[in-house]
């Protein structure tokens, strides 16, 4: 059945205006004033903004890590995402050295299939580059539409790749039309500092932050930028947390390099003192890079405002406090790294960003949706409100005030990192390809409704033959 969204204010990355939207066959069919309501279900968006659905470019659902598995899987994780106004996620597919990449991707498809309630794609972790990997990569781009590769510069002896692997990934990505993503922290220095901290008897959660100082993030970010320049390739730095990393990205962009930066809500509103909470509660705030001293928050907000950073990912990687974070009692290196962020990403950006005058409404849409769609080969199918685009829509009440809490959130973890935080604004209804997933703040979606997204190549490859099929 056709649907018409009426009386709302449409907001895109460039425009804010009052109009109705006609939805047909899951797509936006018409935008205009006083559209004919005949045979259509009318959705009243009075007093609300109508945004393109949020796109979360950074999630870890159902991921084994730190001797356990993230609590949220593709079902609970995508339901929580939808409640928060996100209609697309891109999750990280982990790979194992010596194993075909295709096998890892199959594993990830099996995790998501039948569970996701919104659309999803995958990034692919690159842990080694050899002849087998180089032979497989073009097929993975062609057949799977995975056009972004992730290299970890940290987590020594777990995920960490060496500089040669990063450089060769950058070269391959340039040739193939893919975007290389880096977790930029100097894993070798962290390894030394953590061993030293433990040897000195420093085992509390705060030492997670103290052994990963901002300089190790700045150094790795700068190194990744230099290697990108050398390879003539393109780079996306995930979860930027500090001034030192922003500085390196800004410097590289000023040189004209094709380098992008993402930050996360936790770095914008929480600080290092959270790791000092008593009774081991600091463990709830252990993720990498760690929370920083408060002054870094202003640097990150300014970077979003002036375009030095361009996107907001959640880095959703949730572990219960009880039984999971607690694995690290007496040894902070055993606390599984990560936090539950998928649900509050959009609301925090709106409340702390738009409502507090740090970014504009249109920048908000760009940062949480449009730019991400463009960088990761989903635009204009996703990330905007335009005729022909998927009807992924958020009807958002900008004035409602509420308090974030684990008691009311929809993630399956036993705490919320933003517990007690007052925010203004909330998604009322969320549609994915024209169907309600959230209706009047109630989940009405279906596990398995979410479709896998075969994404277009990066940048100028967007005109290639395969991508023409994806372009509307």
Ligand X SMILES: NC(=O)NCCC(=O)O
Residues that bind Zn ion (CB under 5 A): 183, 315
- Name the region of 338 (left: φ>0; alpha: ψ -120 to 50; beta: rest): left
Binding site partner of 337, from ligand X, Zn ion, none, Cβ cut-off 5-8 A by kind: ligand X
Helix (H) or strand (E) holding 175: helix 163-176
Q: State the nearest-atom distance from the C-beta of 207 to ligand X, in Å.
A: 15
**Closest of 50, 52, 48, 44 to residue 4, by C-alpha:** 44
Q: State the nearest-atom distance from the C-beta of 416 to ligand X, in Å.
A: 16
**Closest of 438, 451, 315 to residue 381, by C-alpha:** 451
Binding site partner of 187, from Zn ion, ligand X, none, Cβ cut-off 5-8 A by kind: none
Helix ranges, 239-341 (H)? 243-254, 265-269, 295-306
The full 3-state SS of 452-468, as one line of letters, equals ECCCCCCHHHHHCHHHH
Q: Restricting to residues 246-305, name those near ligand X by CB under 6 A.
A: 287-288
Binding mask 133-172 for ligand X (x = CB under 6 A): ----------------------------------------
d(CA 65, CA 253): 33
Q: Pick from 86, 160, 337, 369: which binds ligand X (CB under 6 A)? A: 337
Q: State the nearest-atom distance from the C-beta of 352 to Zn ion, in Å.
A: 21
Cα separation values, 104 from 5, 41, 123, 161, Å: 41, 42, 11, 17
Binding mask 13-52 for ligand X (x = CB under 6 A): ----------------------------------------
Number of residues that bind ligand X (CB under 6 A): 8
Q: Which C-beta is closer to ligand X: that of 58 or that of 409?
A: 58
Binding site partner of 54, from ligand X, Zn ion, none, Cβ cut-off 5-8 A by kind: none
Q: Which C-beta is closer to Zn ion: that of 111 or that of 183?
A: 183
Structure tokens at 326: 């607690």
Q: Which C-beta is closer to ligand X: that of 94 or that of 438?
A: 94
Q: Which C-beta is closer to ligand X: that of 50 or that of 61?
A: 61
Distance of CA 40 to the CA centre of its chain: 34
Binding site partner of 411, from Zn ion, ligand X, none, Cβ cut-off 5-8 A by kind: none
Binding site partner of 436, from Zn ion, ligand X, none, Cβ cut-off 5-8 A by kind: none
Structure tokens at 290: 């760690």
Q: Pick from 183, 292, 296, 358: which binds ligand X (CB under 6 A)? A: 183
**Closest of 354, 311, 315 to residue 70, by C-alpha:** 315
Decide if residue 59 touches ligand X (CB under 6 A). Answer: no
Q: State the nearest-atom distance from the C-beta of 337 to ligand X, in Å.
A: 3
List b or e across 28-48, with b for residues whose CB sees 16 or more CB atoms inside 10 angstroms: bbebeeebeeeebeebebeeb
Binding site partner of 332, from ligand X, Zn ion, none, Cβ cut-off 5-8 A by kind: none
Q: Pick from 60, 71, 212, 457: which binds ligand X (CB under 6 A)? A: 60
Decide if residue 338 touches ligand X (CB under 6 A). Answer: yes
Q: State the nearest-atom distance from the C-beta of 257 to ligand X, in Å.
A: 23
Decide if residue 415 touches ligand X (CB under 6 A). Answer: no
d(CA 300, CA 308): 9
d(CA 340, CA 319): 7
Structure tokens at 371: 């730019």
Q: Which C-beta is closer to ligand X: that of 27 or that of 183?
A: 183
d(CA 244, CA 217): 7
Give the residues lining the site for ligand X (CB under 6 A): 60, 183, 287-288, 315, 317, 337-338
């Amino acid at each position: 059945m056709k649907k018409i969204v009426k009386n709302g204010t449409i907001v895109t990355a460039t425009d804010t205006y009052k109009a109705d939207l006609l939805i047909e066959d899951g797509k936006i069919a018409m935008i205009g004033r006083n559209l004919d309501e005949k045979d259509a279900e009318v959705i009243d968006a009075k007093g609300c903004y109508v945004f393109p659905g949020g796109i979360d470019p950074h999630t870890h659902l159902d991921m084994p890590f730190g001797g356990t598995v993230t609590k949220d899987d593709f079902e609970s994780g995508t339901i929580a995402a939808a409640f928060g106004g996100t209609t697309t996620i891109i999750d990280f597919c982990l790979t194992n050295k010596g194993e075909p990449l295709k096998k890892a991707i199959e594993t990830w498809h099996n995790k998501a299939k039948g569970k996701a309630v919104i659309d999803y794609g995958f990034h692919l972790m690159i842990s080694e580059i050899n002849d087998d990997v180089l032979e497989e990569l073009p097929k993975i781009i062609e057949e799977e539409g995975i056009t972004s590769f992730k290299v970890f510069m940290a987590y020594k002896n777990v995920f960490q790749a060496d500089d040669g692997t990063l450089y060769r990934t950058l070269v391959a990505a340039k040739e193939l039309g893919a975007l290389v993503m880096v977790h930029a922290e100097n894993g070798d220095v962290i390894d030394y500092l953590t061993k030293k901290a433990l040897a000195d008897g420093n085992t509390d959660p705060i030492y997670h932050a103290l052994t990963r100082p901002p300089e190790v993030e700045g150094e790795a970010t700068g190194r990744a930028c230099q290697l990108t320049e050398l390879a003539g390739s393109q780079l996306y730095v995930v979860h930027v947390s500090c001034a030192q990393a922003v500085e390196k990205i800004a410097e590289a962009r000023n040189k004209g390099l094709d380098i992008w930066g993402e930050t996360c809500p936790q770095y914008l509103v929480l600080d290092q003192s959270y790791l000092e909470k008593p009774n081991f509660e600091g463990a709830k705030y252990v993720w990498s890079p760690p929370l920083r001293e408060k002054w870094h928050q202003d640097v990150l907000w300014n970077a979003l405002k002036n375009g030095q950073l361009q996107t907001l990912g959640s880095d959703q990687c949730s572990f219960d406090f009880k039984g999971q974070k607690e694995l690290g009692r007496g040894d902070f290196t055993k606390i599984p790294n990560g936090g539950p962020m998928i649900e509050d990403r959009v609301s925090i950006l709106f409340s702390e960003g738009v409502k507090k005058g740090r970014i504009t409404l249109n920048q908000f849409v760009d940062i949480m949706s449009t730019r991400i769609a463009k960088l990761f080969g989903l635009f204009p199918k996703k990330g905007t409100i335009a005729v022909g685009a998927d009807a992924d829509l958020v009807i958002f009440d900008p004035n409602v005030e509420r308090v974030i809490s684990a008691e009311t959130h929809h993630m399956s973890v036993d705490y919320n990192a933003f517990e007690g935080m007052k925010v203004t604004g909330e998604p009322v209804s969320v549609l994915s390809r024209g169907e309600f997933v959230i209706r009047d703040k109630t989940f009405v979606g279906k596990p398995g409704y979410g479709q896998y997204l075969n994404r277009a190549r990066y940048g100028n490859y967007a005109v290639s033959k395969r991508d023409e099929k994806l372009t509307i």
